[in-house]
Structure 1
C-alpha cells in the first residue's frame, strides 16, 4: 500500500510539473533581456522646458537636466549636435530632464540615474526600429491631480517589502527613494513632435503597436534614485506631489550607434553593456 501511494505521488508530481510547463529534472529556460542603457549624472538645473515651452526661458518649473550640457529653452536638434554630455556612453548626447526634487526647501540631487532602452512591451522585438533622430517624447503628467491621472511610480531601492505607489513612499533607513517611468514606444512614423507633445506617440496594446502608431521603437525606461528615506511628508517635486513626476527625452543619439544597438541588442534579445556590447 505504501509503495502504491509513493507511485501515485510521483505521478501526481509529474502531472503538476507538466501542467506548469516544466518537465521533472529539466532546467528552466533562462530569462532573456533585450536592453542597452545610458548611465547619466546631473548636468545642470534650469526653469526651462525646450519641448513643452520652447523659446521661453524661465517659463517652466525647475528641471534637472541629464545628458547634453547645452540644453535650455531654445534647444533644437541642430543646437544639441556636437555638444558634450554627462552620460556613459559619452556618445549619447541626448537630453533628458525631470522636475527638481525637494526635501522641504532643500534641493536633493539624484544619486543614480539610468535610462534603459528595452525590447519589452511588444511581442516581436525583432520588429523594433531605431529611435528616429530628433524625436521628442514626454512621459508622465506634470498636471496630475491624483493617482488616477498619473503614471508615476515610486518605491524603495533594496526594500522590496514596501509596495510601489504613484506618490512618495516611506523608505526604511539605509535605503533610497526611487522612481521609474516608462515612455510610450509606438511612433506614428511621421512626426518628431506634436501639438500636445504626446499624440505622435502611443503605448502598445496587447503586445503590439496600434495602427495609428505602427512603428515600435525601444521602450525608454527612466530610473532615478534619490538619497532620502523616512517620512515623505516634506518631499515634493517642482511640479507638485509625487504623482506629478514626468520626464522628457530629446533624442540626439548618433544614428549609426542607435541603429547598431537596436540591431545587436534589441532585435536579437541580448542584454548589452554601456558600450552596446555583449559577452
Structure 2
C-alpha cells in the first residue's frame, strides 16, 4: 500500500478477524477485575477498551488525510519486557516491547535520562521514546524493517501546539478479547489498500504493515493520567471543552519484513506475559523528549503553515 494511503476496515476483513478469534486462548476481558500475575504484579493499569464515543472518533480519524506534517524516520533500537509508563521502575515485568527512537528506554526511564541519551531517529533532535508490542512469526521475534513517525495537522491545524516536554500517553487496548474492543489496531499489506484489526495474511511480494494513530485533544494541564489516556482524547468533530488544546496527530507507520501467517504479538494472558497475543491487542506508547525549540519550529513552520515537511523540518 502506498505510504500515504489509509485503508478502511471492510466487511471481509472484519469477518476474517472474527473468524480468527476462536483459535485464540481466553483473554482477560477489558474492564474486568485486577489482572495479577504469579509475581503479584497488577496488570490492570493498561488502557482498556474505549467508550462508544471515543471508539467512533478513532474510527473516523483513520480516514482523515493529513493536510500538513513533519516526520521522523526511525530504526528499531532494542526489545525488552519493560514499560516505563505502565510499570515504571519494574524491570522485566511487562510483556515484550519493540523500542525505537531513544536508545536508552527502559523501565526506569525519565525525561532527564532520555534527554541524556541517543536516538535511532532522523532527525537526531528527536530523543522521544516510542514502543509497541514485539511482533512474532512462528514464535520468533521480528524487528520492524522501517518506522516512520508522523506529526500531522488533521484538524484546526493553525491552532495546534507542540507536545509539551515529557508528555506521555498510550493508545490501543492490549487486553482486547475481540477486534471490536480495539479500534486503534489497523493492519494492512504493502501495495494493497484493505485493512483489518487483526493480522492480514499478506501475499507473496508484499509485507505486513500497521498504522497507529494517537489522539489530538489535550486537557492542557496533565502530562499523564492514572490510566495513561484520559488527559488526551480523540477529536470528534471538535476538541471538547475539557480538552481544548489541539496537538498534531502522532502516527506510527511500521513495516515488517514478513508476510503470510504464523503471526502474533507480545501480550499478557491471565496475568502471564506471552508471545502469542492476537493482532487486535496492538497498542503503542510515547514519551516526548524532542529538543523542544526544534519541535516548536516544526509545528509552526509545517503543521500550522499547512506544509508537508521532511525529517529536517523543511517543506519537501
The TM-score, its normalising length taken from structure 2, stands at 0.75
Give the corresponding residue for 1:228: 258
Give every structure 1 segment of 4 or more consecutive aligned residues whose post-TM-superposition deviation is greater than 4 Å. none
Report the counterpart of residue 313 of structure 2 in structure 1. Answer: 276
Report SS of the residue matched to 1:256: helix
Matched, 1:248 2:267: no
The number of aligned residues is: 242
**What's the CA shift for 1:159?**
2.1
Q: 1:32, CA displacement in angstroms?
A: 7.8
Task: Check the 8 A contact 1:159/1:172 in 2, yes or no.
Answer: no
Instruction: Indicate whether 1:140 and 2:175 are aligned.
Output: no
Q: CA deviation at 1:171?
A: 1.0
Once residues 202 and 159 of structure 1 are traced to their aligned partners in structure 2, the CA distance between those partners, rounded to angstroms, is 30
Aligned-partner SS, 1:261: helix
1:130 aligns with 2:162: yes
Please tell me whether the aligned partners of residues 32 and 269 of structure 1 are also in contact (alpha carbons under 8 angstroms).
no
Gaps of 5+ in 1: 1-30
CA contact (8 A) 2:66 2:153 kept: no
Structure 2 unaligned regions, length at least 5 = 1-64, 268-276
Shift of 1:227: 1.0
- Give the aligned partner of residue 234 of structure 2: 203
SS in 1 for 2:308: coil
Correspondence list, 1:162-173, <5 A: 163-173=194-204
* Other-structure match for 1:101: 135
Q: Is the 8 A contact 1:35 1:118 kept in 2?
A: yes
Deviations 1:111-140 (A, max 9, x none): 0111100001x2x21000111000002111
Q: Is the 1:32–1:270 Cα contact (8 Å) retained in structure 2?
A: no
For residue 192 of structure 2, the aligned residue among 152, 155, 159 is 159
Partner of 2:3: none
Tell me the SS of whatever aligns to 1:87.
coil
- Structure 2 residue aligned with 1:264: 301
* Structure having the higher Rg: 1
Matched residue of 1:88: which SS? coil
TM-score by length of 1: 0.85
Residue 194 of structure 1 corresponds to: 225
Q: CA separation in 1, counterparts of 2:198 and 2:312?
A: 34
Distance in 2 of aligned mates of 1:177 and 1:105: 16
Work out the CA distance in 2 between the residues paired with 1:263 and 1:90: 19
Conserved 8 A contact 2:66-2:152: no
